Amino acid sequence: MADTASHTAAPPWQRKPKPLSRLTRLTTTVAGFVTDAACRADGTLNRAMLSFLDPPVPAFPSSPWWRRRHRPRPRPPRAPLPPVLGELPAAAAPRDRLLPRRRVRLLLRGIASLRRGLPPHRPDRLRRRALRRLPPLAGAPLSGVFPALDVSRCFLAGDSAGGNVAHHVARRYATHVSTFRNVRLAGVIAIQPFFGGEERTPSELRLDGVGPIVSVDRADWMWRAFLPPEADRDHEAANFAHPAAIAGVESPAFPPVLLAIGGFDPLQDWQRRYGEMLRRRGKKVEVVQYPDAIHGF
């Protein structure tokens, strides 16, 4: 009998990610080296080192936030389009320069807010800042910049840590929806959201060190630096299963979620559990899986 074992697809835990291009390998290697070098043992960041790779472009002199607005070429008049507010990890800045070519043609109108600098031990302050991005959409200040925005169909988009923030912004919006006038959330786009917990999931153990960007040690350091002192990884800012992190999810105003998961992302088990948690609470969740994707693809 012919041996068919060689023709059988390897199980997921035996597969290796597809080879990266030389430029991508170089970029991720440098990013990993700089990240590790900038992470001090006391839980603080060497922000001066990071600033060489990510020069500041603040939206307002008094704020550590910066904002990028991408506009397409003029087109014939058409129906108003929904605004998309995005929350991206700081490491995505070089890659984000590709946005005008690749994504703006799809989004057509959008606002991408990029958090600059991680406020130490201030997850609640970070979410409040993101939440404050919603009300101005309905006011006059943006009317001359984005004249065809339909703020009754607003989307939140978050990549990695931004996906975590998008979840918390959405649930806080859902609990205070009456305060947002005519701004309405139509959906959340969570791209490999950065969640965690004290438990070591099978994907974290299996994929630790397999792909670049995210490892167990780096993720642990990030949580220690970000969470309040003495908090563990089951804190509401890290673990979506915490009662405080679920508050607002069951509200009818909490929007549907599009969840993107990478097959070589060590955090994928947390992301799948996040989708399952939302479904158990009656929320519509669409999962898009990229079997060969690493975290931050």
Residues sharing a CB contact under 8 Å with residue 156, sequence separation 6 or more, in sequence order:
84, 85, 86, 87, 166, 169, 170, 185, 187, 188, 189, 255
CA pair distance 22, 166, nearest whole angstrom: 32
Residues sharing a CB contact under 8 Å with residue 210, sequence separation 6 or more, in sequence order:
16, 17, 264, 266
54 is catalytic: no
**Side-chain-side CA neighbours of residue 155 (13 Å):** 19
CA pair distance 274, 195, nearest whole angstrom: 8
Active-site residue identified among 160, 167, 215, 269: 160
CA pair distance 27, 97, nearest whole angstrom: 14
295 is catalytic: yes
Letter for the amino acid at 276?
A: E
CA pair distance 171, 151, nearest whole angstrom: 18
- Contact in structure between 39 and 48 (CB atoms under 8 Å): no
265 is catalytic: yes
Active-site residue identified among 54, 96, 265, 269: 265
The residues that are catalytic are 160, 265, 295
